[in-house]
Structure 1
Amino acid sequence: MTRRQLARHTGWFGAAVVLTISGGEVISHIASDRDSTSAPTAAGALPADPATLRFVQISDSHIGFKGPANTDVTGSFDRAIDQINTLSFRPDFVMHTGDLTHLSTSAQFDQVKQMMTGLRTDRVFTVPGEHDSVGDQGRAYRAAFAEGTEGEGWYSFDTHGVHFIALVNTLSLEKLGHLGADQIDFVRKDVAGLSSDTPIVLFSHIPLFAMFPKWGWSTDDALQVLSLLKRFASVTALNGHVHQLFTRVEGNVTFHSATTTAYPLPKPGTAPAPTPQVLPAGQLQSALGIRTVAYQKSETSLAITDLRLT
């Protein structure tokens, strides 16, 4: 990505951005209504191919939230699920990158778990947000969603030649996200036997880069994990938490922050704190959305499409 392309992406807070690959070049445009119901069709977009990996990222559903920023987060999450189920392809999996619930009660976890059983996919993965560990250090979350994981809920898996690592950086919080020595050691052992041409995708709730540390939008020991991945040609980190779109490239790593299905947060530094924002009537859905991701083995990058909630 050139400096000019990067500058364009970093200016597109709150807009849906389509990234496609053509001849090894990243091509971008603001998503239109057609993107919400079909795969990208611009020249150079990834073609329909059963060998192509396709998955969906959703984030920050905040089931249980009550406030004027969104008076019906359950309805918004239902619409997101419906939108996933009407995509032109069946996702290989769906990943929820945290803050599934707002107050981490058993009833809220039961509700979001039941809602996600309606997703048209074979596998659903999650990582926890800080709202999923309110008052209990994540015990209720792990009871509901962390079966078969390691430590406090981290894990990895492989599909279509891509290696995925799901990280937990919302426990042991002070100001910033934190991974901890045990999880860093897990990553070290996890990638030790992988070829350097294996694409790596990281999932976390809080960004793994310094997006806005003043608001806690960073992870204090992320560099220790990223240093373990320097030998890999393609590393993509997908996070939630910030409730808005943002893309950043540092070395071999491309970071993509996702939007939310619940409510928007202010742009970094434009408010005293990251509190839920009330938008003018009729504008909420334009700030909410889902993300589809595609990968072909012949490419070195992922094609990422951010879709507004319909």
Structure 2
Amino acid sequence: MGDQPHRRRFLECMGWAGTGLLWTASGGIASSITLDSALAAPHGGAKSAVKPFSFLQVSDSHIGFEKPANPDARATFREAVEKIKALPTKPDFILHTGDISQLSKDQEFDDADQILKEAGLTVFHVPGEHDMLDEGNGAAYLARYGKGSLGDGWYSFDHNGVHFVALVNVKALKAGGMGSLGQPQLEWLQKDLAGRSSSTPIVVFTHIPLWTIYADWGWGTDDSAQAMTLLKRFGSVTVLNGHIHQVIQKVEGNVAFHTARSTAFPQPAPGQGPAPGPLKVPAGELRNALGVRTVSLIRGGEPLAVVDASLAS
């Protein structure tokens, strides 16, 4: 990609809005190429510590949810996995940004694992508040997904020159309350980032947004500013989350924030209604509400081209 214009931020090349998000990284920045080229063509250009790759984000599968907004969340999650399996080039791994289950039941976790296993990819998890409802306040989640993690399930890993940080902001979450990272996790984050070059691309993934979208509904994290201060020195930071079941994006300095839709049901836009929760759409339109999104990088200095297509199409 050495002969193509580069952009400063680490951005998505293509995504399934509602069925997952596919991201590509090259040198910590995105290049102006089409989706087909990004997935199929070999990447050349100048040598970099970051090797091109792609990964997927899925979120809020809510396995076990069986209410009017979606009578069968398992079925729509299977559709998401079928989309993943059909990709012409296999991504390196999947990030699941929480609310795997509806009620933290073993059978729900089992079903989610069996469905996602069909994708044939390694999966990295963070918990949502629905994964912390067992009597052990998250013990079931940690027993299944927390191997090698610290505290309430936070951890980090490196892949092809990109540093990934999994943060937990749903522990002991009060109804309608803001997310919280807590001092022990923030101290760990400071140590985790301390020895890394400021040129290292960082991807943070968590459940509740790390910026305040709508405080009245608890759509934010009360101590996120402390985390953002620690990330300020890095030239490329991408923050991925779920929780709000809709796509909202924000760029602030060096940080690009991206929320993801659920694979189970939509929620109302911030402040549109008395409270958040499953949003029932007219009969036959659920898959339109979940949708498929393609984001392509266009040659030259044009903005990202965003094309949304529903699961029903």
Q: TM > 0.5 between the two? A: yes
Distance 2:308 2:78 in 1: 18
Distance 2:83 2:144 in 1: 25
Q: What is the aligned partner in structure 1 of residue 65 from structure 2?
A: 65
Q: Which amino acid aligns with 2:268?
A: P
Q: What is the aligned partner in structure 2 of residue 255 from structure 1?
A: 257
SS in 1 for 2:271: coil
Distance 1:251 1:157 in 2: 24
Note the C-alpha offset of 1:132. Answer: 0.4
Q: How many residues align?
A: 278
TM-score w.r.t. structure 2 length?
0.80
**Alignment of 1:87 onto 2:87:** yes
Render the CA deviation track for 1:119-171: whole Å, top value 9, x for unaligned. Answer: 132x1111000000014321111111111111111110001111000011000
Note the C-alpha offset of 1:238. Answer: 0.2
Q: Which amino acid aligns with 1:266?
A: P
SS in 2 for 1:287: helix
Please show how residues 10-29 of structure 1 align to structure 2 within 5 Å: 22-24=5-7
* Closer, same or farther: CA 199–25 of 1 in aligned 2, 3 Å: closer
Distance 1:30 1:154 in 2: 27
Alpha carbons 2:52, 2:160 under 8 Å: kept: yes
Structure 2, unaligned runs of 5 or more = 25-30, 44-50, 298-303
Please show how residues 1-310 of structure 1 align to structure 2 within 5 Å: 22-24=5-7, 44-45=33-34, 47=38, 48-49=41-42, 51-121=51-121, 123-135=122-134, 136-174=136-174, 175-288=177-290, 308-309=310-311
Alpha carbons 1:200, 1:235 under 8 Å: kept: yes
Q: Which amino acid aligns with 1:49?
A: P
SS in 2 for 1:228: helix
Q: Which amino acid aligns with 2:118?
A: G
Q: Which amino acid aligns with 2:188?
A: F
Q: Which amino acid aligns with 1:204?
A: T
Distance 2:275 2:97 in 1: 22
Q: Which amino acid aligns with 2:246?
A: Q
Note the C-alpha offset of 1:23. Answer: 3.9
Distance 2:103 2:129 in 1: 9
SS in 1 for 2:83: helix
Render the CA deviation track for 1:103-122: whole Å, top value 9, x for unaligned. Answer: 0011111111222211132x
Alpha carbons 1:129, 1:241 under 8 Å: kept: yes
Render the CA deviation track for 1:12-35: whole Å, top value 9, x for unaligned. Answer: xxxxxxxxx954278999989xxx
Q: Which amino acid aligns with 1:89?
A: T
Render the CA deviation track for 1:203-223: whole Å, top value 9, x for unaligned. Answer: 000000001111010000111
Distance 1:307 1:216 in 2: 30
Q: What is the aligned partner in structure 1 of residue 46 from structure 2?
A: none
Structure 1, unaligned runs of 5 or more = 1-20, 296-301
Distance 2:23 2:223 in 1: 36
Q: What is the aligned partner in structure 2 of residue 7 from structure 1?
A: none
Q: Which amino acid aligns with 2:70?
A: N
Distance 2:230 2:94 in 1: 26
* Closer, same or farther: CA 165–210 of 1 in aligned 2, 3 Å: same
Alpha carbons 2:58, 2:96 under 8 Å: kept: yes
SS in 2 for 1:163: strand
Structure 1 stretches of 4+ with a deviation exceeding 4 A read 25-32, 289-295, 302-308
Q: What is the aligned partner in structure 2 of residue 6 from structure 1?
A: none
